[in-house]
């Protein structure tokens, strides 16, 4: 027997249709690549995305075709997202910070047929074009531009395509793919995750909930996290679902530019990785801005240092939602929101609870397992490999036949975590970054959090350096903050009484810069190559 309710597929086009119907005049403010600020509305985004869809169809593109973007967070990118995915094509967000070889690999692996690009990325396109064999259409995100035509005579222009008569949204299967994103691939080649309309819609409902990101039509949302980084954590879709005002930062991701956007546009919620917040906090400190409109920020992608969460709370009255996820999980897996029973906790206990990565929303299940795959208790103590399953978790990678899951259907995240009886998860480390000293594990995250508490440290990374007796010993690699000159012993002293004696780093190495990955994370393998022998060199 089946029920007797309407059976309507869950589609990306539903999101933008809803936004255009119920939030027609709500604004999307966007920083253009040339620095200008423009404003559009949800109604206009819908209209232009249907025109764009018609324009793409006229080029011969159809359902299932991959259409790539090489773009900042801006209004044209938003229109491409809805036009391409709503029209049954696959929107493939490319990360422009990848090395050209990886970029070429990804475009070919995805067999992208068209590519949209912002002006910033024209040199990358021109420089790699001869290797991008599958691309038939290069589409510049702007109006006709002689400079672009001189470098790329075959270029088409976004602003011409959206002059087409608007197409009607097609009715698709909800399991049809809508977008494609590759993992950062710090080891090996990147792998593609192909999201479906259904998985994306369910993820969108979920992230908007009060115990996740708590989104509504009353928010002004600034996604600093790029649309090419795990779909800007799903925020553009969710903003359409709830009818929020969006502020798209374009290429200007430095602290001063973000601060100006937050203050001028009265942003209430901003989202990004920890390195972004370091720059923003430094800019706010220098300018004296209190970021009064900013009530909440979401930190994810890497562990949010407790000192950063405390600064936002104490100096800016801004509540941090610490969230965890990965490309393979669409990406939201957990968010740190309290329960009713925590309302009476004192400030210190509450602050402690908010440090971890939080608990999964409905739709995501977590477990931790030991080296033999046996489930470990959720007691807040046991640490094991974090595995996940749910409605928006990858099953297999793009173009691969084999499953990405364990035989019993769980996805291994590559993270080491503990989970408590209330479902709160704390990431202890990435499996490959945890420091193994004399058979014991030391969390690099814990060590980094302590180092960055020092005002003289701008960025710190803990790695395991080779040691003749203990295999590995912890070493901190740190970048000094401008105008500060902390020394090694001063930093090592921070650890006294905070961690067990054997966990105190053996050395602190100062360096001018720490290389970050394409998604703004510390490249630990690079640091291990550079500094892995430092203890042996020091003759321990
Ligand atoms: P991204 O697109 O963010 O690089 P990846 O899928 O490459 O996505 O990275 C996901 C990984 O990032 C997770 O497995 C985890 O190691 C790390 N990560 C994400 N959020 C957090 C967090 N809040 N705390 C600690 N680590 C995190």
Domain span holding position 235:
13-252
Last residue of a domain, one of 252, 274, 300: 252
Residue whose Cα lies nearest atom 27 of ligand 1: it is: 302
Confidence (pLDDT) at 539? 87
Domain closes at, from 252, 286, 315: 252
Tell me the sheet residues that pair with 102: none
pLDDT 10s digit of each residue in the chain, 540 long?
A: 999 999 999 999 999 999 999 999 999 999 999 999 999 999 999 999 999 999 999 999 999 999 999 999 999 999 999 999 999 999 999 999 888 999 999 999 999 999 999 999 999 999 999 999 999 999 999 999 999 999 999 999 999 999 999 999 999 999 999 999 999 766 678 999 999 999 999 999 999 999 999 999 999 999 999 999 999 999 999 999 999 999 999 999 999 999 999 999 999 999 999 989 999 999 999 999 999 999 999 999 999 999 999 999 999 999 999 999 999 999 999 999 999 999 999 999 999 999 999 999 999 999 999 999 999 999 999 999 999 999 999 999 999 999 999 999 999 999 999 999 999 999 999 988 999 998 888 999 999 999 999 999 999 999 999 999 999 999 999 999 999 999 999 999 999 999 989 999 999 999 999 999 888 889 999 999 999 999 999 987
Q: Would 294 be classed as within a structural domain? A: no
Cα of 331 vs centre of ligand 1, distance in Å, is 9
Rounded (5°) CA angle 501-503-508: 105
Identify the helix (H) or strand (E) that includes residue 55: helix 42-58
Q: Give the model's pLDDT for residue 307.
A: 94
Q: How far is CA 305 from the centre of its chain?
A: 17
Position 519 scores a pLDDT of 85
For the chain, the domain total comes to: 2
List the catalytic residues. Answer: 183, 328, 436, 441
DSSP structure string for 247-316 = EE-TT--SHHHHHHHHHHHT-SEEEE-HHHHHHHHHHHHHHT---TT--EEEE-SSPPPHHHHHHHHHHH
- The pTM score is 0.93
Give a yes or no: residue 358 inside a domain.
no
Alpha-helix runs per DSSP H in 113-230: 122-128, 146-151, 158-161, 197-208
Distance 387 CA to ligand 1 centre (A): 13
Q: Residues 235-248, buried b or exposed e (16+ Cβ, 10 A)? A: bbbbbbbbbbbbbb
Residue 111 within a domain: yes
Kindly provide the residue ranges of all beta strands, DSSP E only, lying in 19-99, ordered along the sequence.
27-31, 37-41, 66-70, 90-93
Distance from residue 68's CA to the centre of ligand 1 (Å): 23
Instruction: Say if ligand 1 is within 6 A of residue 322 CB.
Output: yes
Measured by CA distance, the residue closest to atom 9 of ligand 1 is 326
| Ligand 1 mutation pick, 213, 224, 302, max ligand atoms within 8 A of CB | 302
Residue 176 CA to residue 119 CA, distance in Å, equals 31
Percent helix, percent strand, percent coil in the chain, to nearest 5: 35, 25, 45
Summary count for the chain: helices (H), strands (E): 17, 24
3 domain-assigned:
no
Please name the residue whose Cα sits nearest to atom 13 of ligand 1.
Answer: 326
Residue 31 Cβ inside 6 Å of ligand 1? The answer reads no
3-state DSSP call for residue 142?
Answer: coil
How far is residue 472's CA from residue 377's CA, in Å, rounded to a whole number? 28
Asked, for residue 343, whether it belongs to a domain, the answer is no
User: What is the C-alpha separation between 219 and 268, in angstroms, rounded?
Assistant: 6
* Residue 213, pLDDT score: 98
184 lines ligand 1 (CB under 6 A): yes
Task: Note whether residue 221 is domain-resident.
Answer: yes
- Ligand 1 atom 19: residue of nearest CA: 301
In a domain, 155, yes or no: yes
H or E, element range at 128 = helix 122-128
Quote the CA–CA distance of 314 and 323 in Å, as a whole number. 20
User: Residue 304 falls within a domain, yes or no?
Assistant: no
DSSP state of 341: G
Q: Measuring from atom 3 of ligand 1, which residue has the nearest CA? A: 301
Rounded Cα gap, residues 395 and 403, in angstroms = 6
Which CATH number fits the domain that encloses residue 452? 3.30.300.30
**Residue 519 Cβ < 6 Å to ligand 1:** yes
CA separation for the pair 236, 21 (Å, rounded) = 17
DSSP class of residue 516 equals B
The response to whether residue 357 sits with its C-beta less than 6 Å from ligand 1 reads yes
- Cβ of 522 less than 6 Å from ligand 1: no
Question: Which residues are 358's β-sheet partners?
Answer: 425
49: domain CATH number is 3.40.50.12780
| Measured CA distances, 361 to 212, 332, 335, 390 (Å) | 7, 9, 8, 10
* DSSP bridge partners of 516: 522
């Amino acid at each position: 027997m089946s029920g007797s309710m309407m059976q309507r597929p869950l589609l990306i086009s539903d999101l933008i249709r809803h936004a255009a119907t119920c939030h027609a005049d709500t604004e999307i403010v966007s920083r253009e690549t040339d620095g200008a600020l423009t404003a559009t509305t949800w109604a206009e985004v819908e209209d232009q995305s249907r025109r764009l869809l018609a324009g793409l169809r006229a080029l011969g593109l159809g359902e299932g075709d991959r259409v790539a973007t090489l773009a900042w967070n801006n209004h044209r990118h938003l229109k491409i997202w809805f036009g391409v995915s709503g029209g049954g094509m696959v929107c493939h967000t490319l990360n422009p910070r990848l090395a050209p070889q990886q970029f070429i690999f990804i475009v070919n692996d995805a067999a992208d047929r068209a590519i949209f690009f912002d002006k910033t990325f024209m040199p990358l396109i021109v420089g790699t074009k001869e290797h991008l064999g599958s691309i038939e259409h290069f589409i510049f995100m702007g109006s006709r531009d002689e400079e672009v035509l001189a470098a790329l005579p075959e270029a088409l222009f976004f602003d011409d395509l959206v002059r087409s008569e608007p197409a009607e949204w097609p009715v698709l299967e909800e399991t049809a793919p809508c977008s494609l994103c590759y993992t950062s691939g710090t080891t090996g080649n990147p792998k593609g995750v192909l999201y479906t309309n259904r998985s994306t819609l369910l993820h969108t409902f979920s992230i908007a909930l009060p115990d996740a990101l708590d989104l509504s039509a009353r928010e002004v949302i600034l996604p600093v996290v790029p649309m090419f980084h795990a779909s800007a954590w799903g925020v553009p879709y969710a903003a359409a679902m709830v009818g929020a005002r969006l502020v798209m930062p374009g290429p200007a991701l430095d602290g001063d530019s973000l601060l100006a956007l937050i203050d001028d546009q009265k942003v209430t919620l901003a989202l990004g990785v920890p390195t972004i917040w370091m720059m923003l906090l430094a800019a706010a400190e220098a300018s004296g801005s209190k970021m009064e409109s900013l009530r909440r920020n979401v930190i994810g992608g890497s562990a949010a240092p407790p000192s950063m969460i405390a600064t936002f709370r104490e100096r800016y009255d801004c509540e941090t939602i610490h969230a965890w996820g990965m490309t393979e999980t669409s990406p939201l897996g957990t968010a740190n929101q309290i329960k009713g029973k925590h309302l009476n906790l004192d400030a210190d206990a509450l602050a402690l609870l908010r440090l971890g990565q939080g608990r999964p929303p409905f739709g995501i299940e977590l477990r931790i397992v030991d080296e033999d795959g046996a489930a470990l208790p959720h007691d807040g103590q046991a640490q094991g490999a974090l595995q996940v399953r749910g409605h928006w978790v990858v099953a297999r990678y793009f173009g691969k036949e084999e499953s990405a899951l364990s035989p019993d259907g769980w996805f291994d995240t590559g993270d080491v975590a503990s989970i408590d009886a209330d479902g709160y998860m704390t990431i202890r480390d990435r499996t490959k970054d945890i420091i193994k000293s004399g058979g014991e594990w030391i969390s690099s995250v814990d060590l980094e959090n302590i180092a960055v508490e020092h005002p003289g440290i701008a960025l710190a990374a803990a790695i395991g350096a080779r040691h003749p007796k203990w295999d590995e010993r912890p070493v901190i690699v740190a970048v000094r903050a401008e105008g500060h000159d902390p020394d090694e012993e001063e930093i090592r002293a921070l650890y006294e009484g905070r961690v067990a004696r054997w966990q105190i780093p053996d050395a602190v190495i100062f360096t001018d810069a720490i290389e970050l990955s394409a998604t703004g994370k510390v490249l630990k393998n690079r640091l291990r190559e550079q500094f892995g022998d430092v203890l042996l060199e020091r003759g321990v």
